[in-house]
């Protein structure tokens, strides 16, 4: 059975992008994660800048978290 991860703050199911950007921006050794919206609140920047970073990392092809 697949393990579904949930945001530790709001309990929504996490996507691979949520997990990847949390690992990239917050902690590479994390075992629990926040969704993009909650990361935006934590970093006081909102969702849009985080989505732009995800697009950048994916398009650059240099980050293994976003391949």
Q: Quick: pLDDT tens for 4-62.
A: 799 999 999 999 999 999 999 999 999 999 999 999 999 999 999 999 999 999 999 99
CA distances from 14 to 41, 61, 62 (A): 16, 22, 23
What's the predicted TM-score (pTM) here?
A: 0.89
Dist. CA 63–CA 67, nearest whole Å: 7
Q: Which of 4, 16, 2, 7 is closest to 65 using CA atoms? A: 16
The 8-class DSSP code of residue 12 comes to P
- Report the residue count for the chain: 67
């Amino acid at each position: 059975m697949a393990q579904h991860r949930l945001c530790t703050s709001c309990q929504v199911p996490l996507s691979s992008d949520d997990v990847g950007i949390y690992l990239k921006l917050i902690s590479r050794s994390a075992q629990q994660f926040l969704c993009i919206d909650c990361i935006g609140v934590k970093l006081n920047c909102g969702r849009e800048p985080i989505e732009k970073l995800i697009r950048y990392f994916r398009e650059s092809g240099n980050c293994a978290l976003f391949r």
